[in-house]
Amino acid sequence: MAANFFTKRAAWAPRVRSVLRIVAASMFILHGTMKLFAFPIGVPPKGGTVVLLTQSGLGGILEAFGGALLLVGLFTRPVAFILAGEMAVAYFQFHFPRGFWPLMNQGELAALYCFLWLYFSAVGAGPWSLDAVRTRKKTED
């Protein structure tokens, strides 16, 4: 009984990977839209936007537009790799100097997104993605 339960669930693993990518990208995009468009809230403490041609502005562009590419699963591996690097820089530049432990330096999200995007750069987008559609079209031609 238990083996059957886990066997059936294992068949769903690629689809669950797609769901994880979609949900994570949806939340990641909000970090970029906050910086670029003050949506759904502005950047604390004053609630505005960041200057576009700054490091925070570049981060907002990567988060909003890179997150959108991950949301639809287009060019997932290279985009995820770039975003993993962005999150590593964010962690070590802004959070790590405040302390060693991510809970104390408020770097949990940066560290988690870093490894999440690194994972997707290795395994791809999953079956519910534009990358999967592109791959199917290539094999049909």
Q: Tens digit of pLDDT for each residue in 7-23?
A: 788 889 999 999 999 99
pTM of the model: 0.92
* Residue span of the structural domain in which 69 resides: 2-140
C-beta separation of 87 from 63 below 8 A: no
Structure-block tokens of residue 9: 């669930």
Cα angle 74, 8, 122; round to 5? 30
Q: What is the DSSP string of 52-89?
A: TTSHHHHHHHIIIIIHHHHHHTSSHHHHHHHHHHHHHH
Structure-block tokens of residue 115: 């490894």
Domain total for the chain? Answer: 1
Per-residue pLDDT of 50-84, as tens digits, reads: 999 999 999 999 999 999 999 999 999 999 999 99
